[in-house]
Every structure is written in structure tokens, then in C-alpha cells.
A = this chain, B = another copy of it.
Amino acid sequence: MMPWNQVTIIGTGLIGGSLGLALKQAGLAGKIIGIGHRQSTLDAAIACGAVDEGTLDAAEGVRGSDLVVLATAVGLFEPLLRQAADDLADGAVVIDVGSTKAEVVRTAEALMPAGRVFVGCHPIAGSEKRGIDYVDADLFSGATCVITPTDRTPAEALQRVAETWEALGMQVVRLDPEEHDRLLAEVSHLPHVVAAALVQAVRSDAEPLVGSGWADTTRIAASDPALWRDILLTNARGVGEALQRFRETLAALEGALADRDAERLERLLGEAKARRDRVVGR
């Protein structure tokens, strides 16, 4: 595919920095400009080769770029777009890497000046780690990227964005933004809420007895609170629905246990195991 002449990445943390590295290694970007809110982060991003140059000024940083990537916490997308929208180059494609899509796409499309295009993206890759220190050019390879076009998305821009993710080794799935949020609530946002609740269900005298099972089950509770505050708030309805489903599946197990029904309990545990084995084995 044709590389982008100049790419601006707004937010050079784990995802933004890794994307810069990956685009460079794949030969998909001429020059990469990083936008951050701390000079030290930009310096680190330049030092590790994730971006070529950096600026603290969003309007300045997007000028002349044919691809602009929003890679901050979801809650910052709107103020950053308001700062930079007037300086977007004619024909610029703006994408994001946020974990929720309906509200993000609605807001971003409304802020796009004529001749500029927004394509919502969610590369399902990451870590509970954050920051430029953990960048990894292979973060995206082998994972799924959801892109969420609307009836306002030009086919050409959509195609080019999809090809970019595919060139980084991702499998691209197209979904309606609302559908994306409903599905991601179940596989991602719900587990984050549940992991945090599991941590706090432990009394202090039980802490020394945690094993590797607890550590794995609660790993995502170590994620950045501000990032997840934004994700949960921008998909509050989807998360609420997923919580309702979870309460029902939990009640089924709890009921079997309360009834001391060994057969039903084993069946429910066995069904969950079979499904988990199948889904993760894919």
C-alpha cells in the first residue's frame, strides 16, 4: 500500500508510541510527529524512535499530516480535536485507537471540517502497563482491529485505514459503532469492573494467601484508572447491560451452590470451561 506522507500521533503512550514504531518498521509513514502534554514524554518517544519530532501544541502538530491518530485517553479526544480541527490538512484522515466508539465517532464526526474524514478504530491490543517505556513494535501483530464506519465515511479513506492496520499484522473487523460498544462491554469493559470488585472483596488478612489464579484474574485491575474511567463513562449503557447479563450467569452458579446441587454445579462449570477453551483456543 501507499505510505502516509506524514503521520501525527496525539498521545505517545503505550499504544501511540507502539503505533509509531510499527508504522516506521513497516515503512508506512514518511515522517511521524508526536503530540504530548509533557516534553519529557516526547523526548522519550523521539529517543526510542517512536516519533521523529514532537510538540506540545496540538494545532501545530497536525499541520501538513495526511494521517492523524488520537491515542490519548478517550475523554481527551473532544478537547484535542477542538484545538486542532481548523489546522487539519485538506484531505486529512483522522483515526483514533479508543476502546469505545459510539460517543467517540459521533463527537469526532461532528467536529470534522469539510474535506477532513474521521474513521473510528479500536485495535484490541494493549497491556495493563502504560507509557512510552513499554512500547512494542509488535503490539498489534496477530490481534484484531475493529473499525467503525458510518454513512459519512468515504470508502476510499476506510479502505486505506483498513489496509494500514492489516499491514501491521492485524485482522480488521468492521462493526457499527453501537454494536462495537455492546460487544466490547461484554469482553473487555465488564471484566475490568469485575476485576476491580474482586480485588476489593478480599479482606486484608487474606492478602498473603493470593496465588497465581488471583493474580491473573485481577491483572486488568492494575490498568490506568483515568483511562478506564473514560472508557466506562463513554459506554455506561453497554457496561450496564453487560453487568446485568453477568449477574444472571453468576446467579446460576450461586444457585447451584446454595442448593448444594453437585450435578448442576459441575455442569455449569463444565460449560464455562468448554466455552473458554474454545474461545481462547481460536
Contacts of A196 in B (CB 8 A): 249, 253, 268-269, 272-273
CB within 8 Å of B: which A74-103 residues? none
Q: In the assembled complex, which residues on chain B have CB atoms less than 8 Å from the CB atom of A277?
A: 222
Please name the residue on chain B nearest to A196 by beta carbon: B272
Mark out the residues of chain A between 244 and 276 whose CB falls within 8 Å of any chain B CB in the assembled complex: 245-246, 248-250, 252-254, 257-258, 260, 262, 265-273, 275-276
Interface residues of A in 220-254 (CB under 8 A from B): 220-226, 228-229, 232-233, 236, 239-240, 242-243, 245-246, 248-250, 252-254
Complex contacts, A186 vs chain B, CB 8 Å: 201-203, 206
15 residue pairs from A and B, CB less than 8 Å apart: A126-B212, A144-B209, A183-B203, A186-B203, A187-B207, A193-B250, A194-B194, A197-B252, A199-B279, A200-B252, A201-B245, A202-B275, A216-B217, A216-B220, A229-B266
Find out whether the CB atom of A217 lies under 8 angstroms from the CB atom of B215: no
Tell me if A218 is interfacial: C-beta within 8 Å of chain B. Answer: yes
Contacts of A188 in B (CB 8 A): 209, 211, 213-214
A266 / chain B contacts, CB cutoff of 8 Å: 225-226, 229
A232: contacting residue among B173, B208, B215, B265, CB under 8 A: B265
Q: How close is A143's CB to chain B, nearest CB, in angstroms?
A: 7
Contact of A194 with B198 at beta-carbon distance under 8 Å, contacts A209-B146, A222-B273, A279-B207 already known: yes
Minimum Cβ distance to chain B for residue A50 (Å): 21
- Which residues of chain B have C-beta atoms less than 8 A from A257's C-beta? 193, 232-233, 236, 239-240
A111 within 8 A of B: no
B residues in contact with A194, CB < 8 Å: 194, 198, 217, 250
Closest chain B residue, CB of each to CB of A180: B209
Are B199 and A275 in contact, CB atoms less than 8 angstroms apart? yes
Interface check A125, CB cutoff 8 A: yes
Given A198-B246, A203-B245, A225-B267, 4 additional A-B pairs, CB 8 A: A191-B218, A222-B273, A224-B273, A240-B258
Q: A236-B258, A236-B260 are in contact. Are A215 and B265 (CB under 8 A)?
A: no
Count of chain A residues with Cβ under 8 Å from any Cβ of B?
87
**Chain B residues positioned under 8 Å from A124 (CB to CB):** 209, 211
**Can you name the residue of chain B whose Cβ is closest to the Cβ of A275?**
B199
A265 touches B201 (CB 8 A): no
CB distance from A265 to the nearest CB of B (A): 5
Cα-based distance from A126 to B250 in the complex (angstroms): 24
Q: Which of A31-56 contact B (CB under 8 A)?
A: none
A190 interfacial by beta-carbon distance below 8 Å = yes
A143-B205 Cα distance, complex, nearest whole Å: 17
